[in-house]
Homo-oligomer: A and B are copies of this chain.
Amino acid sequence: MAREPGTGFTRQAAKDAPRHGAALARLKGCGLRPTRQRLDLARLLFRDGDRHVTAESLHDEVSRVGIKVSLATVYNTLHQFTEAGLLRQVVVDAGRSYFDTNVDDHQHFFLEEDGVLIDIPGETIEVSNVPVPPEGLAVDRVDVVVRVKRS
């Protein structure tokens, strides 16, 4: 493979450096060992803006690009990223798990017919009068899902 004279990096690696660097920093930042598969997945996930993926969809995508990662690793990685606060799990479907790269406080439209999620910015919807939970319980999070249909 062609190299930038004197750098020790391939041209592609040089081009990827910033992205790769960002992914690397992200992983290091939360104490996850930067393995090839975690870096590859992080780059795809965080490359351009907010995304919603399922394990299957991410695995398909990664595979189509020619990267070799097992489905088990995709599952592991999604869960580790979630625990590390890099992703947020969104429950809208009793059949499969969605993961959102936007971890800020926000809500979702869910188009059930296509399994598509659309972000609603955090400041938009106002939820008031959430009752005090029963004795011994504390509110962890308030999720709002606006289910939409084709009209």
Using a CB–CB distance below 8 Å, which chain A residues touch chain B? 89, 91-98, 109, 111-112, 118, 120, 124-131, 133-134, 136-151
Contacts and interface: CB of A to CB of B under 8 A. Distances in A.
A125 B129 contact: yes
Contact of A140 (B97, B143, B149): B149
A146 B136 contact: no
Copies of this chain in its oligomeric complex: 2
A92 B91 CA distance: 6
A136 to B, nearest CB: 6
B148 A140 contact: yes
A144 B143 contact: yes
18 contacts: A91-B92, A91-B94, A94-B98, A109-B137, A112-B140, A118-B134, A124-B131, A125-B128, A125-B131, A127-B144, A136-B150, A136-B151, A137-B151, A138-B148, A138-B150, A141-B146, A142-B144, A142-B145
Q: What 10 A-B pairs have minimum CB-CB distances, sorted nearest first? A: A138-B151, A137-B148, A94-B97, A140-B147, A126-B128, A133-B148, A143-B145, A140-B149, A141-B147, A126-B129
Contact of A147 (B111, B136, B139): B139
Given A94-B94, A120-B131, A137 B150 contact: yes
B139 A148 contact: yes
